[in-house]
Structures are given as structure tokens and as C-alpha cells.
Structure 1
Amino acid sequence: MKVTVARDGKRLILKALTKATTHHAELQMISAKSMERTDTVLEEILEEFNAVFQEPTELPPKRMIEHQIDLYPGAIPNKQAPYRYTHAQKAKIKTLVKEILEARIIRPSQSSFSSLVLLDKKKDGTWRMCVDYSKPLEEHHTHLRIALNLLRQNKLYAKRSKCSFGKRSVEYFGHVISAKGIATDPSKFEGMLTWPTPKDVKGLREFLGLTGY
């Protein structure tokens, strides 16, 4: 291996001492994803507390405070017939109950109280079992009277046009919350459906900015 250079009008030839080529470095293509910085301290902390992220296999240990539910004198037990479920939902509920029963999170009970079970699909496609503690509409009327009476007694005022009562669904931050779950507010789609077809790059960017949410 030799290299020719010019200096002060003279040509210099630099030759290697050996004919063998020595590699001092290698260049490799690295994707942007692999270039992400790794927080080693954060990884060490998460590894140290790995037990916190494990699936529970039993009830937690006995705490210093013993929780109990005090009932009003003469309280009537709340007991309702189960909802009607599809065959697939029934099978899933049985599976979930079996899992938490084996994990000793729950135990068999002969209590006169019982509440309804609901299945809620999570974002990852799995199911979450929930308990429905909702009461009849008449109890809601009682609670509403109590709340409005407190406002009246304390000279506090609410704007009727901004209040909603007896609704089966409510709008909240661009979403509609109902018994069926959470859905995007249909009014948010109107601007997208009526938006003119982009004819250039600028128009396309504006449309993508609108639909980016």
C-alpha cells in the first residue's frame, strides 16, 4: 500500500512497512431506531422493582387498617338477576372468575348481597370484568334533590343551559360516554367529511393536520 502526496513542489511517496492491510475500524449502517439512547439507570430501577409489575397470585398481606362496610339499620340487601350474555361472554366470565379464584383474590360467598357483572374490552383486545353497582333511576332523583338543595341553602347558583340531567350519554372532551362505552363525538367527523378534496401539497397538509387526532 502506498500514498503519493505533493509538498513544496516535490512529490512524496509514502509506503506501508508491510504488505498486509490492517483494519483499524469498520463502518456499519445503523437504523435510527437502534440509535435511541438507553437510560441504563432507569432500566436498573425497573429491574430492581420487577416484583411490582408481576401478576398477583394471592391476596395482599393483612394491613394495619381493617376495612369494613357499615350498613344503615334496616338496610335491604341488593340482589339482582344476572344480565343475559352470549355463549362466548359466559365462557369468558367463567374463565376470569376461575383465574381470580385460583389466585385467591376472591373466595366463595353466601352473602345475600350480589351485583351484576359486565365485560369491558380493553385496548389490547383482552377483556376486563367489571361489577355494576348502578341503582334505579329513582335513587338518582333522590341524590339530585340532595345536591340541588345544598346549592339552594348555600346561595350557590348553576346555569341551567349548561347542565344535563337524566342523560343516557354525555359528551366529554370530544367523546361520547354511554353504557356502550366511549366513542368519538360524531360532530367531530363533520368537518372531515365536508372538507374539500386536497388539490396540492398545502391542501393535503391541512387535511392531515385536521385528521391527525
Structure 2
Amino acid sequence: MIYPIFLPKREIDFSVDLLLDTQTIYIPPYRMSPTELKEFKKQLKDLLDKGFIRPSISPWGSQLLFVRKKDGSLQMCIDYRQLNKVTIKNKYPFPRIDDLFDQLQGASYFSKIDLRSGYHQLRVKENDILKTSFRTRYGHFEYLVMSFGLTNAPATFLNLINKVVRQYLDMFVIVFIDDILIYSRSEDEHIDHLRTVFQILNDQQLFAKFSKCEFWLRSVAFFGHIISSKSIEVDPKKMDVVRSCPRPISHSKII
């Protein structure tokens, strides 16, 4: 099996375990607009060049879709809803928000690390690769790395990162899926904490997206809240979303 050359063998691989008697799922590709086709060619080449996907002869096949991002650009995604329905769910526990906030009491310095395309840093088990396949006008492809949209992807990635930084969890590190929050009481502590986390990520060959990382913050947006040494408050941007919701005009709009 040839995986992306940069991708090391990790303690955890992503698996797609199915319910008993599951039948092969195949959904024909939908018709793309000229704009989508142009964007698809570009993103397809990028995924192939990186070794994240390869041509497939799998009998499985989910549908490829495009979603429009906030900046107006198109993002390719795979509609795995039918596959997710027959996938045995990973019950790995997600952290409670109130427990995480308790750990931040007294912290004055914060840094937030966003792992670059985090899911693509984890291999798919060889026997499960065929289940990740998707069909398009330009061929049939399958993922060698964990793809967005798969039901157990968040839990699997959280499990991996928790294992990697376990000895520092609730000391100066908080993890939520592909976000790592480092918190410290003093500048000197924060320097040491950052060095420790950077060394772990380097040793584990886990890559961060620098443009989305934030360092040496005195307050940080996390879990829909603004956190500082003085308080933990609801992010005003989240409140604006609630306030801007149209007033319901029927019972069905409320339920």
C-alpha cells in the first residue's frame, strides 16, 4: 500500500466499521455546472498530487458535491450520508465545555494551533479504503487519508491528538478535534509550554496551518466564548447570530 510519502504510520488508523448485512452503497454522480467542473479539476489535481486520493475500482461510490464558503469560493466535499447511516458509531467521549473552562481559571496567556487539514494527516485502514470512494464525471476515486464528512472522523482525530498530548492535558493543553489551545499563567510559562507542544507536533509529524494559528493572546475566542484572565463571556458574534434570526410566525417554525 502506497500512502502519501510524508504521512507516518501512527498509533491510530481510521476505520469504517459497518453494521451487519450492509449492502454496497453506490450513488451516481450529479451533473455539475461549468463553474463546478472547472473548480473540481483544480481540487482533484491537488488531492492526487498530494497522494490523498487515488483512482479506484471499488464497487462503492458516494456522491461529490460543492459547498460555497464564506469567502464565496467553492469547496469540494463528499456526501457520505448514506455510508454514515450504516457505520457503527465511534463513542469516543468529547470534552464537556464547562470542564474545559474550569481548566482555564487563572490563565493569562493563550495560543491556539489549528492543525492543517487535520483529517488528512491520518491514514485509512487498507481494508476500508474502498468504502471512501466517490464517483465523478472524470473518474472514480478513493481516499487514502481520512476524509471530511465521515461520521467517525471527528472522534478518531480527537482520540489521536489526545493520545499525543495526553501527559499535558488539563495542565496547559486543551484539545477539541483539530484545535489545540495552550494556556499559561505567565510569559515564561507560555514560552516553555509552546516549545513543548511544538516539539510534540514535530516529533509526531503533525502539521499546523500557520495562517489560522494565533499566538500570545491575552484573550481568545474558543467554544463560542471569549476567554481572558478576567472572565469567560459569550462571543458577541454568536449573540448577533441569534439576534438576527427572523421571528417565528408559526408553531412549526419553533418545533
TM-score w.r.t. the length of structure 1 is 0.35
TM-score w.r.t. the length of structure 2 is 0.30
Greater relative contact order (CA < 8 Å, ≥ 6 in sequence): 2
Q: Which has the higher strand share?
A: 2
Task: Work out which of the two has the higher radius of gyration on C-alpha atoms and give 1 or 2.
Answer: 1
